[in-house]
Structure 1
Amino acid sequence: MVATGPLSGPLFSPDLIGTDVVTSFPEGYTIRALERGDYAKGFLDCLGVLSDVGDVSQDRFEERFDWMKTQGQGVHYHVVIEHENRVIGTGAIIVERKFIHNLGLIGHIEEVAIRKDFQGKGLGLKLLASLSSIAKNVGCYKTTLGTSPENEPFYVKCGYNKSGNIMNQYFEEPKEPYYRG
């Protein structure tokens, strides 16, 4: 199904990703906002590198996309790296509105994934730079993320510092980490 009108096009304004970041990608690679048509370009398969996605039909994907574009504006910023008409990388920033820090905004980095055959090419670093660019452009005073100990060196290389521990409380049956998220 092809959307027209307000639901067609990118999830958010492309202007939120700085030109310096956009032009830093190698020829043939494009960083941009998630679009409805990315289901067919393997967006969920790309996320599958990170965690179990589940059985998500195109209709369910589009329903979630439409909600984010209409009800979640100013909160949900999902980016993709496209190469040869295929999504090969993705990440998201979820903006939290605080009462502290003068009603500040914090960007929560989530769902960072690069397809296995594209890892080690510097694309993850550039992906994180795009999310940082969005965070700065929407007025966040910081970004935060959770990661496994084995991935800490990558995020340090991207400019992140270890700052405490993240605790989780799960509300479903115990699962292996890949399936738990």
Structure 2
Amino acid sequence: MAVASSSDITGEKQTFKIRRLEISDKRKGYMELLGQLTVTGSVTDDEFDQRFKEISSHGDDHLICVIEDEPSGRIAATGSVMIEKKFLRNCGKVGHIEDVAVDSEFRGKRLGKRVVEFLTDHCRAMGCYKVILDCGVEKKEFYEKCELVNKGIQMSKYF
């Protein structure tokens, strides 16, 4: 687990810990944080626990990380990556980063960049030949600061 310190606006020290999602993180505001990103719906504790176990069963091929603000115990940031196994590039692997979010209270502390770096490092360690991420135009500048390059257009079909 990596620990990072930064000063907040008032000059007080805050300590953040980046780690894998734990089943207890629902009580630490994880779902509310995701709600700042998109629609989450009403996920019961049982539904959360069941999905957590399902995701965890994929081992390192599906990793969700969080950054916890240690003094408050709140989840301040999150992101996930899924490793796709391919036939291309000598049966290579590609990491797909998704659901990067930083709580509005903790923005401006470089936590989003830390999440992207953590997930990118995981992909490198897993032997991926690239990592990709889809984002809206308004987020392009942020992800360029994370050393990602615009390589095309995202297309979607929602059901």
TM-score surpassing 0.5?
yes
The total of aligned residue pairs comes to: 149
- Give 2:117's aligned residue: 129
1:163 aligns with 2:151: yes
TM-score when scaled to structure 2? 0.90
Q: What code does the residue aligned with 1:34 have?
A: L
Deviation at 1:59, TM superposition (A): 0.6
Alignment of 1:1-181 (within 5 A): 22-23=2-3, 25-26=4-5, 28-70=15-57, 72-83=58-69, 84-171=72-159
**What is the rounded CA distance, in whole Å, between the counterparts of 1:124 and 1:69 in structure 2?**
23
- Give 2:9's aligned residue: none
**What is the rounded CA distance, in whole Å, between the counterparts of 2:117 and 2:59 in structure 1?**
21
**What is the rounded CA distance, in whole Å, between the counterparts of 1:50 and 1:117 in structure 2?**
14
TM-score when scaled to structure 1? 0.79
**Secondary structure of the residue that 1:28 maps to in structure 2?**
strand
**Secondary structure of the residue that 1:74 maps to in structure 2?**
helix
**What is the rounded CA distance, in whole Å, between the counterparts of 2:129 and 2:31 in structure 1?**
30
- Give 1:175's aligned residue: none
Deviations, residues 25-74 of structure 1 (Å, cap 9, x unaligned): 2151000000111111111111111101111011100000111112x223
**Secondary structure of the residue that 1:40 maps to in structure 2?**
helix
Deviation at 1:127, TM superposition (A): 1.2
Deviations, residues 61-116 of structure 1 (Å, cap 9, x unaligned): 0000111112x223210000000211110000011000101111100000000001
- Larger relative contact order (Cα-Cα within 8 Å, sequence gap ≥ 6): 1
**What is the rounded CA distance, in whole Å, between the counterparts of 2:39 and 2:109 in structure 1?**
24
Identity, in percent, stands at 36
Distance 1:53-1:159 versus aligned 2 partners, 3 A rule = same
Q: Greater strand percent: which structure?
A: 2
Q: What value does the CA root-mean-square deviation take over the aligned residues?
A: 1.1
Q: Which runs of 4+ in 1 moved over 4 A?
A: none
**What is the rounded CA distance, in whole Å, between the counterparts of 2:132 and 2:139 in structure 1?**
14
Q: What code does the residue aligned with 2:67 have?
A: I
Deviation at 1:147, TM superposition (A): 0.6
